[in-house]
């Protein structure tokens, strides 16, 4: 099915039909000749990330006290997760990785996407203490959105739907040609990644608690679409994305080799993150089961000690 969708989309891209937003060509004139050495920053990205960090700092300090959300701030490790996530975001959308992914290498673009989906998103969600999530859920509109996207099947469809949509050849090349569409693509990845991770690593009391088996099944299913997409891209016998055929070559990497490397990144390392999470969830499940059994045994022994003696 996925191969069919990619094939139809690729055929559509070569029909000659011109859409209103198709006037832009691949602009490689803006590509720095030594992109891997350029450490520039994009003002809009920097302002956005600093603004996000400011909101978080205000919530941890000023608003927490003013609105009596919690008597204490988030744990130090949570704050470290949040700020580390924003540093990862800064490195992903600026400097060498940005230039390599925008103008040169499909592989670099896949590294960028994996950082957004599998590093920035979980770190950001881990940075949110329960009391902050509860305060946000007090807003009715946010609560409705949370209730809808809190179901595991909805998370799965939202995340993987956006993933596959932006890897359709026509849409992928559109994002390379038109910067505003590229921004929309990244915002889509970031939003659905946060949705995908939220129910797993956030433990706010009013959020529905999925059984550990359901979490394991969800994580396992999440590995499949990325592996399938990575396999299709890796094993393709011709370049899928037109933009990289015209891109300047770096380090002697051909378009086909670049495509294979990028597909392998999705196929293997991308899945390793989710498998690592599965191991953690399984370990927690065993720990909770043992704690429950120990509590049952302790309760039984206590009942025996207090039971009246039979004459």
- For 109-142, what is each residue's pLDDT tens digit? 999 999 999 999 999 999 999 999 999 998 999 9
For residue 35, the model assigns a pLDDT of 82
Sign of the C-alpha dihedral computed for residues 76, 81, 87 and 90 taken in this order: negative
Query: Do the beta carbons of residue 193 and residue 163 sit within 8 Å?
Result: no
pLDDT band at 209 (very low <50, low <70, confident <90, very high): confident
**Parent domain of 258:** 32-301
| Residue 103 located in a structural domain | yes
| Residue 11 located in a structural domain | no
| Residue 12 located in a structural domain | no
Which of 28, 26, 10 has the alpha carbon at shortest distance from 176? Answer: 26
> Residue length, the chain?
311
For residue 80, the model assigns a pLDDT of 97
For residue 269, the model assigns a pLDDT of 78
| Residue 26 located in a structural domain | no
- Lowest mean pLDDT across 2-6, 36-40, 143-147, 151-155: 2-6
- Across 87-115, b (16+ Cβ under 10 Å) vs e yields ebbbebbbbbbbbbbbbbbbbbbbbbbbb
Looking at the predicted structure, is the pLDDT value of residue 34 above 70? yes
| Residue 104 located in a structural domain | yes
Residues 6 or more apart in contact with residue 5 via CB below 8 angstroms:
164, 168
| Residue 151 located in a structural domain | yes
Cα–Cα distance for residue pair 214/282, rounded to 1 Å: 11
Cα–Cα distance for residue pair 113/172, rounded to 1 Å: 12
| Residue 16 located in a structural domain | no
Looking at the predicted structure, is the pLDDT value of residue 310 above 70? no
| Residue 284 located in a structural domain | yes
Which of 168, 166, 167, 159 has the alpha carbon at shortest distance from 219? Answer: 159
pTM, whole model, 2 decimals? Answer: 0.86
Q: What angle do CA 48, 262, 10 make, to 5 degrees?
A: 95
Q: What is the mean predicted confidence (pLDDT) over 283-291? A: 90
> How many structural domains is the chain composed of?
1
Distances (CA, A) of 304 to 146, 181, 292, 309: 46, 69, 19, 10
DSSP codes of every residue in 137-191:
HTSHHHHHHHHHHTSHHHHHHHHHHHHHHTTSHHHHHHHHH-HHHHHHHHHHHHH
Cα–Cα distance for residue pair 44/268, rounded to 1 Å: 33
Q: Which residue has the higher pLDDT, 23 or 147?
A: 147
Which of 108, 51, 113 has the alpha carbon at shortest distance from 88? Answer: 113
pLDDT band at 11 (very low <50, low <70, confident <90, very high): very low
Residues 6 or more apart in contact with residue 182 via CB below 8 angstroms:
102, 175, 176
């Amino acid at each position: 099915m996925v191969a069919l969708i990619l094939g139809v989309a690729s055929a559509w891209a070569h029909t000659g039909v011109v859409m209103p937003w198709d006037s832009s060509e691949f602009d490689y004139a803006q590509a720095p000749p030594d992109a891997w050495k350029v450490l520039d920053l994009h003002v809009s990205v920097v302002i956005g990330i600093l603004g996000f960090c400011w909101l978080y700092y205000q919530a941890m300090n000023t608003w927490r006290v003013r609105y009596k959300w919690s008597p204490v701030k988030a744990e130090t490790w949570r704050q470290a997760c949040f700020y580390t996530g924003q540093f990862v975001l800064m490195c992903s959308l600026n400097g060498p990785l940005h230039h390599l992914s925008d103008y040169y290498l499909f592989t670099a673009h896949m590294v960028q996407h994996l950082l957004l989906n599998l590093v920035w998103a979980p770190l950001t969600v881990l940075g949110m203490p329960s009391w902050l999530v509860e305060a946000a859920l007090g807003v009715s509109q946010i609560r409705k959105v949370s209730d809808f996207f809190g179901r595991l099947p909805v998370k799965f469809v939202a995340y993987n739907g956006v993933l596959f949509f932006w890897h359709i050849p026509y849409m992928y090349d559109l994002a390379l040609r038109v910067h505003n569409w590229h921004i929309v693509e990244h915002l889509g990845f970031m939003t659905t990644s946060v949705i995908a991770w939220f129910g797993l690593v956030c433990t706010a009391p009013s959020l529905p608690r999925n059984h550990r088996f359901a979490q394991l099944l969800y994580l396992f299913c999440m590995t499949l679409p990325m592996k399938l997409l990575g396999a299709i891209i890796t094993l393709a016998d011709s370049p899928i994305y037109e933009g990289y055929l015209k891109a300047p070559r770096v380090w002697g990497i051909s378009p086909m080799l670049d495509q294979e490397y990028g597909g392998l990144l999705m196929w293997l390392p991308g899945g390793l993150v989710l498998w690592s999470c599965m191991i953690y969830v399984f370990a927690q499940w065993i720990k909770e089961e043992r704690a429950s059994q120990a509590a049952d045994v302790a309760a039984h022994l206590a009942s025996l000690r207090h039971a009246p003696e039979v004459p």
